[in-house]
Structure 1
Amino acid sequence: MSVGIVPPVELQMTLLLFFALGGYLLASRINQSAVVGEILLGLVVGPSVLGLITYTEFVQAIAGLGAVILMFVIGFEFKLSDLTNIRYGIMGLIGIIVPWIGGYLTAVAFGFGTGSALFIGTALTATSIAITANVLKEMCILDTEFAKAIIGTAVIDDILSLLALSVTADVAAGSVSLVDIALVIGKQIGFLVLLALAGIYVVSRLIERMDGSTIAKRYPEFVFIFAVMVAFLFAALSEYVGVSAIIGAFIAGVSINGLNLTHSHDIAEGAEYLYIIFASVFFVSLGVLVDLTVLTMPVLLFIGAITVVAILTKVIGCGIPARLLGYSTRDSLAIGFGMSPRGEVAMIVALLGLNLSLIGQDIYASIVVMSILTTVATPIAFRNWLFRDEVAACRPE
């Protein structure tokens, strides 16, 4: 989209934070998650309506930092053992297959070609962990068993969705190799295992030693700066090998979880303040990214259909296996809805398809709007249906 005259970065940051505050006010008026308010306000002030702010490179960069910091903070709530449950792998696998097939068949039914339909199906596979995790944290239910299942499954889901994207790109290019697929899987899984081991047995021990050092006693912020550096390092390494950067930041948070520091500032508390600022910008930017001016009535009908399919295929693909694996009906529904937000992951898939000329601007806009709608649907379902009592107890009116 055209950005016209780009304002100074200071003004862009001022506007982003101003609209984030407005998102909180809107959310309080409609009794919804702050995520919903921020995204909706981003939609209003973006190119679709008022055009007060556009998705510049600076906004994109700050939003990316927000997603990394958000998942770093979320990682403090988890242990490595929370992510190695075999049930998560089963739910993650089925939760990829069902949306992929559902998205492909829906696109074919609307008359799209094979290449476009494959990319649309791929866009429905991944879950935006950052969005769901933020909603769970905001509702004070991040430490529950079903919440851990959502995060653990979403991590696996993210890896499998990147595999699906790789396969789709190869098919679209006319070449696909089972050997290449196996190498991609092995590389990603092996990398994440090594990253987790490095975090737990090297980074965490190094931080504990730093905490007892003379420099930490003199400068208590020293360890905190080091921890944030590690989060971004893990994110960068993850992106380098083809894994989402936010997964690396999440593993960094998991690695540091539970450390007892004597002389240094609390890492989790410090990261929380960073998260408040940058995560807010991240959610506003998701709304800014949408340009509704390219949508026509046929495209709107497709958006409605693909959004319903996107939600149902995750509820079915993850919720039913969860119920069969021993979770309660409510927790199974929560896992299904919690896996529904596509967020920035689907947008990345759509952008790749657009760059490869496999989809047009109309399909790209459709996937972006679908991502926003699925993102908004999850906190609404949680707050107004599944966990109304928990919300009231967490944040009394």
Structure 2
Amino acid sequence: MNYIGSLSLILIVTAVAGHLSVRMGLPAVIGQLVSGIVLGPAVLGWVTATSFIKDFAELGVIILMFMAGLESDLQLLKKYWKPSLLVAVLGVVLPIGVIDWCSQLFHLNATESLFLGVTFAATSVSISVAVLKELNVLDGKEGTTILGAAVVDDVLAVLILSLMISLFGSEVSGGGSHASTNLAVSLTIQLAFFIALYFVVKWLVPHLMAVGNALLVPTSVTLMSLVICFGLSYLADAIGLSAVIGAFFAGIAVGQTDYHEVIDDHIQPIGNAVFIPVFFVSIGLNMSFKGFMSDFWFIVVITVAAILTKLAGAGIGAKLAGFSWLSGYEIGAGMVSRGEMALIIAQIGYQGKLLSENRYSAVITAIILTTLIAPILLRHAVKRMKLSAAV
């Protein structure tokens, strides 16, 4: 029953830390992330990233993105798909190029440098979603663009990672044509998934929700919405995409039905009370100060480059799409967080020998530092937008 004790400790510490963060004018997410660092191996060592914590955390990010989809305006997403695409592309290209170059300055080989660029090209919009929801600006044009860009960003990062692994595999085994075939099949399946999503959103989900409403069991509508959420998350993960993409589109689909307000009222307590705090803590649990001093300047340079390239890339993309510089700053800040997406990619690269063992801890530290700084930047950007609108 040790996991019950760990869960209890996480919930009480995140509640207090979140409260203190808000009292200090910071997003509650910061307190929850810091709780993971303090409770984890980096400081006290009271909680470790067990399979139970990881599973709970995965459910947390899925529920968080489902809630984001529920609160998204589909018409706004359609309206801002072009800016989202531009923000995502520039927000991927710039980090890859700059961090690749920075890594080579520290004598990493070409493959490892390119892989680090791909790692920091990813965005964890789940952190930004929590902050935008807290500030009640998730459904604005900037929040909508951030959500749309994050989906494209995740797809691009997964595709580039798949390509790198395929090329790396072909170099090792000499099976170039086989790797290319596998990549082509994966891309075809992923494209089919997005095409199928249109029919799921428009036709299947409304019928499933009607079936759920007819079931003679308590909260049957909410139950059916979770089935849809977890089902699409599983399918997205099974074909090599992020599970959060499936959860986000499940939220959009359910949000178009007549039951979205009831579901939102039921889902928010479930997510915010238990699962979502564990997700934020799980990111902090990955923090380690092993080799911190020996890699200090590498961590500093990569962290600064990761923040500035997302701010600049996404911000310039927003400006080119017709947004103001202040809006571009908010959108760029919303794309800075790397969170679980970058951690997952780093782990895949480490297992695939694309990232060396002596740099792994430093990279994880840089990812967590960007994740800690991102909510502060986003809150500052939103505050400036509100002050500008009030003038």
TM score, norm. by length of structure 2: 0.91
CA deviation string 1:300-321 (max 9, x = no partner):
2111101111111112221112
Structure 1 range deviating more: 357-366 or 314-323: 357-366
1:206 is aligned, of 190, 205, 208, to 208
- 2:136 aligned with 1:140: yes
2:49 maps to what in 1?
A: 55
* DSSP 3-state at the match of 2:295: helix
Q: CA RMSD in A?
A: 2.2
Note the C-alpha offset of 1:68.
Answer: 0.4
Conserved in 1, the CA contact under 8 Å of 2:327 and 2:385? no
- In structure 2, relative to structure 1, the CA distance for the partners of 1:388 and 1:323 (3 Å cut) is closer
Structure 1 range deviating more: 171-180 or 368-377: 171-180
- In structure 2, relative to structure 1, the CA distance for the partners of 1:367 and 1:200 (3 Å cut) is farther
1:288 maps to what in 2?
A: 285
2:62 maps to what in 1?
A: 68
- 2:275 aligned with 1:278: yes
Query: Partner amino acid for 1:305?
Result: V
* DSSP 3-state at the match of 1:41: helix
Note the C-alpha offset of 1:385.
Answer: 4.7
Note the C-alpha offset of 1:341.
Answer: 0.5
Conserved in 2, the CA contact under 8 Å of 1:119 and 1:349? no
* DSSP 3-state at the match of 1:295: coil
What residue ranges of structure 1 are gaps of 5+ in the alignment? 1-6
Query: Partner amino acid for 1:360?
Result: S
CA deviation string 1:349-386 (max 9, x = no partner):
11112212332344222222222221222221232354
CA deviation string 1:144-185 (max 9, x = no partner):
101100000110010000011112212333248766655444
State the distance in 1 between where 2:305 and 2:246 align: 30
1:44 is aligned, of 38, 41, 52, to 38
1:3 maps to what in 2?
A: none
Conserved in 2, the CA contact under 8 Å of 1:342 and 1:374? yes
- 2:28 aligned with 1:20: no
Aligned residues: 379
Note the C-alpha offset of 1:116.
Answer: 1.6
Q: Which structure 2 residues correspond to residues 223-242 of structure 1 after superposition, within 5 A?
A: 223-242=221-240
1:11 is aligned, of 5, 23, 39, to 5
CA deviation string 1:166-211 (max 9, x = no partner):
1221233324876665544443232023124213311123313542
- In structure 2, relative to structure 1, the CA distance for the partners of 1:150 and 1:208 (3 Å cut) is same
Conserved in 2, the CA contact under 8 Å of 1:75 and 1:257? yes
Q: Which structure 2 residues correspond to residues 374-385 of structure 1 after superposition, within 5 A?
A: 374-385=370-381
State the distance in 1 between where 2:218 and 2:331 align: 40
Conserved in 2, the CA contact under 8 Å of 1:307 and 1:374? yes
Query: Partner amino acid for 1:121?
Result: G
TM score, norm. by length of structure 1: 0.89
Query: Partner amino acid for 1:36?
Result: I
Conserved in 2, the CA contact under 8 Å of 1:127 and 1:340? yes
- 2:15 aligned with 1:33: no
- After superposing on structure 2, the runs of 4+ consecutive aligned residues of structure 1 that deviate more than 6 Å are 176-179
* DSSP 3-state at the match of 1:126: coil
Conserved in 1, the CA contact under 8 Å of 2:96 and 2:121? yes
- In structure 2, relative to structure 1, the CA distance for the partners of 1:389 and 1:335 (3 Å cut) is closer
2:248 is aligned, of 240, 247, 250, to 250
- 2:190 aligned with 1:194: no
2:316 maps to what in 1?
A: 320
Conserved in 2, the CA contact under 8 Å of 1:337 and 1:381? yes
State the distance in 2 between where 1:91 and 1:190 align: 24
* DSSP 3-state at the match of 2:113: helix
Conserved in 2, the CA contact under 8 Å of 1:139 and 1:390? no
Note the C-alpha offset of 1:234.
Answer: 0.7
Structure 1 range deviating more: 138-147 or 9-18: 9-18
* DSSP 3-state at the match of 2:303: helix
1:161 maps to what in 2?
A: 157
Conserved in 2, the CA contact under 8 Å of 1:208 and 1:259? no
Note the C-alpha offset of 1:265.
Answer: 8.7
Q: Which structure 2 residues correspond to residues 340-379 of structure 1 after superposition, within 5 A?
A: 340-379=336-375
2:325 maps to what in 1?
A: 329
Conserved in 1, the CA contact under 8 Å of 2:49 and 2:285? yes
What residue ranges of structure 2 are gaps of 5+ in the alignment? none
* DSSP 3-state at the match of 2:277: helix
Structure 1 range deviating more: 356-365 or 302-311: 356-365
Conserved in 2, the CA contact under 8 Å of 1:163 and 1:184? no
* DSSP 3-state at the match of 1:266: helix
- In structure 2, relative to structure 1, the CA distance for the partners of 1:98 and 1:325 (3 Å cut) is same
State the distance in 2 between where 1:227 and 1:301 align: 47
Structure 1 range deviating more: 192-201 or 150-159: 192-201
CA deviation string 1:316-359 (max 9, x = no partner):
22111210110011111111111111101111111112212332
* DSSP 3-state at the match of 1:61: helix
